[in-house]
Amino acid sequence: MAQDVQLSDADLEKVRALLNANYNPQDHQEAQELILGALQEVQHLFGWVPFEAARLIAEHLGVSENLIYGLLTFYADFRTEPPGNHFMLLCHGTACYVGGSQRLIDTLRDRYGIGADETTADGELTVQIVNGCLGVCDCAPLIHLDHVYHGNLTVESFVEAIENAKRNGPARRDHAAH
Amino acid sequence: MRLTNRREFEQLAESAREKFAALGTGGRWSISVGMSECSFAKGARETWDHFRLQLERAGIQHDLRQVGCGGWCWAEPYVIVSGPSHPAVLYGNITADQVPDIVRAIEQGAISREHAVGIFGDADYDGIPSIHSDPFFARQHRVLLADAGVIDPTSIEEYIANGGYSAWIKALFEMTPEQLIDEVKTSNIRGRGGAGFPAGIKWESGRQARATPKYVACNSHEGEPNVYKDRRLIESSPHMVLEGIMIACVAVGSQRGYNYIGGEHMLAVARFKHAVQQAYEYGLLGENILGSGITCHIRTRTGGGAYICGEGSALMYSVMGERGQPRTKPPRSVEEGLWRRPTVLNNTETLAAVPAIIRNGGAWYAGLGVPKSTGTKLITFQGPLKRLGVVEVEMGISLRDLIFDVYGGMAEGRTFKGVQTGGVSAGALVESQLDVPVDFDSLTPLGGMLGSGGFVVFDERVCAVEFARYLMAFNRYESCSKCTPCRLGNPALVEIVDRIRLGRASMSDLKLIERTSKHVIELSLCGLGQVAPMPLLGMMQAFPEEFAEHIERHHCRAGVCPVGQQVLEPVAAD
């Protein structure tokens, strides 16, 4: 986990408020059940799960930090590094594959120098390749960029969507939530 | 509004029915926009906004409603308009710029022919055909999807108006748990997640298990890369799934049910949570429900994007806040599941069928489909077909009818090459095998599988070898790495396929694939590992000539493999 990124006091307060409002288990069983949900909500809030937020969750639910680290590294959806200005889910489900999503992945590698779960060197774009499926298969191949779907992509329209997003300036951070 | 007894429920149902029947009558227009994740992708939110403004500006008396996904993804964003001067009509592909056309038609009391897909009813009207003259609708038998695209998924009253929760009332007041189990056993419904285990027998084992408390869990994880039936079902009829879980709780003798939904299906999670909250508010969940003395609580839990969590034991570890890694069985989960207590785990689709089975009787359900695979099945198709979407058909329909009739055949200029069955867990079938009936048992001998009902059609642009690599790479990535054959065998298989793609393989590599696969299949612990090499083996069986071409002639028909780009010495297999 990126320990050098510090959360501001205001951000920490947001996490505490969220935990106090929605995460009040009756017993240890329920506390265990709530961990994944709490991590997801934190990720929605910041676009990733900062170390200090994970520690707050551990304290609040009475579980160990190690256990939380184990979850963050097991479940593919969690990010432990802050994402770039723009966040893209690239669907690589079977329908998108048949529609040519491999060419989009190749384009990311060749043109932007990034692969799965990586951020471009200029911090502009983070991509998460979704192995499962976004479930909008009739628009394959498809991406979800800054909360907007772009479907029936060719390599050209794919690059255009990325460049347009970059020109429009940084997206809201919670757009990286997934 | 908290209901406290059965009579209050009946009264509510009566008034809900009247209210629902009044939609689109009395001089008011009813405009229903399909709002689900798939239609958002095509701009349904904008369509909705434009309708809201333009209907108001035109001064039309109307109810603008949101409904779920009807399954006709090819027509999204879609709108159903009914009103004083004509029956309900389904309009397709209504993006924001088409909205003025529809609003103008409403003003004139006419139907916009240009956008009409069909009349939403049995009879033709004014030269516009009924949707039932279209094979996409006519060949469906909608039980689970009966309310999809019809009711507002966020309204418990609209669900009740259409017969919702009447099975729950039966379970509370009229039937014993044993009778509930008997009905499900009579229906002979088999597990819709893919394994096909009879649900009634599972319920019975759950009921007979001695340890308490017991739990019911619904598997709505749906992490497979070509299946989206469960999330569309939850987005469209969350209460139907919920009612099924609640009935299972009573039948098994459990006071708590869980629904485990993939965390990435955010709209499905939100709509299901909303449904649970409504059921509590109406007094249909909680303690001493409607004075029956029965207690039932439902919790929603979400996963984090790990395919393996769709496996039973892994799912339970994930609910319990652990890493989702399967364990050895026995004990089976009906003996030791959540919190080491008896747990009955069913797929979303299985549980969603339960309210209809209890309402209409198990014998009615058993009369649908074919004897060994009763009932209806949700099917999703992807690939270069004319139409795409979710359909609900009776078991036993042939693959050919599905592809070339229901889904309208291949898209313009594309030729059928094969169809991948069983998600990522089975092989592909070719044209000559398409007359096989779609049910639990018929596809398996051909190397295919029904699985959860996800099929992918592909054409000549797809290379069989690269496709096999894609499917193998998926299983390699999603392996939880707990046991060695799966952790090391799958990467080894991907490497061998890569060798073929690069033109560096020899024919003996095909033997090596078979041998390695045997180890992975026989020695892996859970369902993922035991079927992981199946798509590769299936692809080799369906398209042996393409594998041979890559190896011997360094030729890729689809022109996508880097085979033959560089001359390299063949690498010995052993």
At A175 the pLDDT is 43
Instruction: Provide the edge-to-edge strand list for the sheet that holds B29-34.
Output: B62-67, B29-34, B79-83, B86-91, B116-119
In this complex, is the C-beta atom of B115 within 8 Å of any C-beta atom belonging to chain A? Answer: no
* Nearest neighbour of A74 by CB, restricted to B299, B306, B462: B306
The count of C-alpha atoms lying within 13 angstroms of the C-alpha of A127, restricted to the half-sphere facing its C-beta, is 21
Q: Which residues in chain A have Cβ-Cβ distances shorter than 8 Å to B318?
A: 36
Judged by DSSP in three states, A118 sits in strand
- CATH topology classification for B465-553: de novo design (two linked rop proteins) (1.20.1440)
Where do the H-state alpha helices sit in B282-414? 312-319, 348-360, 362-366, 399-401
Specify whether the CB–CB gap between B464 and B550 falls below 8 A.
no
pLDDT band at A178 (very low <50, low <70, confident <90, very high): very low
Question: Across B2-130, where does the E strand assignment appear?
Answer: 29-34, 62-67, 79-83, 86-91, 116-119
Q: ipTM strictly over 0.90?
A: yes
Which residues on neighbouring strands pair with residue B297, listed in sequence order? B256
Residue numbers of B between 185 and 224 with CB closer than 8 Å to A: 222-224
> Quick check: B383 and A151 CB within 8 A?
no
Name the stretches of chain B with pLDDT < 50: none
Count interface pairs A-B at CB distance under 8 A.
145
Residue numbers of B between 166 and 185 with CB closer than 8 Å to A: none
Instruction: Convert the pLDDT of each residue in A113-141 to its tens digit.
Output: 999 999 999 999 999 999 888 888 889 99
In this complex, is the C-beta atom of B303 within 8 Å of any C-beta atom belonging to chain A? Answer: yes
> Quick check: B225 and A131 CB within 8 A?
yes
DSSP string, B320-346: TTS-------SSPTTTS-GGGS-EEEE
Kindly provide the b/e burial profile for residues A160-171, where b requires at least 16 CB atoms within 10 angstroms of the residue's own CB.
ebbeebbeeeeb
Judged by DSSP in three states, B447 sits in coil
Minimal CA separation from B102 to chain A, in Å: 24
The percentage of chain A sitting over the pLDDT mark of 90, rounded to a whole number, equals 81
Domain parsing of chain B, residue ranges: 21-136, 156-361, 375-459, 465-553
Cα dihedral sign, B67-B68-B73-B77: positive
Rounded CA separation B163/B355 (Å): 9
At B234 the pLDDT is 98
Rounded CA separation B457/B381 (Å): 7
> Quick check: A98 and B458 CB within 8 A?
yes
DSSP string, A125-160: EEEEEESS--S-GGG-S-EEETTEEE-S--HHHHHH
Instruction: Give the single-character DSSP code of B304.
Output: -
Tokens of A174: 């919670």
Rounded CA separation B359/B66 (Å): 27
Q: Which residues in chain B have Cβ-Cβ distances shorter than 8 Å to A48?
A: none
> Quick check: A33 and B301 CB within 8 A?
yes
Rounded CA separation A138/A121 (Å): 33
Q: What is the CATH number of domain B375-459?
A: 3.10.20.600
Tokens of A128: 């998460």
> Quick check: B478 and A39 CB within 8 A?
no
3-state helix, strand, coil split of chain B in percent (to 5) is 45, 15, 40
DSSP string, B2-58: ---SHHHHHHHHHHHHHHHHTTT-TT-EEEEEE-SHHHHTTTHHHHHHHHHHHHHHT
Which of B382, B479, B528 is the best mutation test for A, with the most CBs of A within 10 A? B382
* Nearest neighbour of B383 by CB, restricted to A29, A77, A98: A98
CATH architecture, domain defined by B21-136: 3-Layer(aba) Sandwich (3.40)
Locus of tokens 């191949």:
A141
Residue numbers of A between 18 and 47 with CB closer than 8 Å to B: 29, 31-37, 39-40
Specify whether the CB–CB gap between B382 and B456 falls below 8 A.
yes
Tokens of B331: 């004990």
Specify whether the CB–CB gap between B189 and B375 falls below 8 A.
yes
At A177 the pLDDT is 45
Rounded CA separation B452/B299 (Å): 24
> Quick check: B304 and A77 CB within 8 A?
yes
The percentage of chain A sitting over the pLDDT mark of 70, rounded to a whole number, equals 93
Q: Which residues in chain B have Cβ-Cβ distances shorter than 8 Å to A40?
A: 263, 302, 304
Measure Cα distances from B404 to B415, B439, B456 in Å.
12, 18, 14
Tokens of B80: 């159903």
In this complex, is the C-beta atom of A137 within 8 Å of any C-beta atom belonging to chain B? Answer: yes
Q: Which residues in chain B have Cβ-Cβ distances shorter than 8 Å to A93?
A: 225-226, 382
> Quick check: B382 and A71 CB within 8 A?
no
Rounded CA separation B30/B8 (Å): 28
Which residues on neighbouring strands pair with residue B410, listed in sequence order? B385
At B564 the pLDDT is 73
By DSSP bridging, strand A86-91 and strand A125-130 are: parallel
In this complex, is the C-beta atom of B469 within 8 Å of any C-beta atom belonging to chain A? Answer: no
Which of A97, A128, A143 is the best mutation test for B, with the most CBs of B within 10 A? A97
Homologous superfamily, domain B156-361: NADH-ubiquinone oxidoreductase 51kDa subunit (3.40.50.11540)
Angle (nearest 5°) at CA B219 between B215 and B220: 135
Asked whether the predicted pLDDT for residue A99 surpasses 80, the reply is yes
Instruction: Give the single-character DSSP code of B88.
Output: E
By DSSP bridging, strand B376-382 and strand B454-459 are: parallel
Specify whether the CB–CB gap between A10 and A52 falls below 8 A.
no
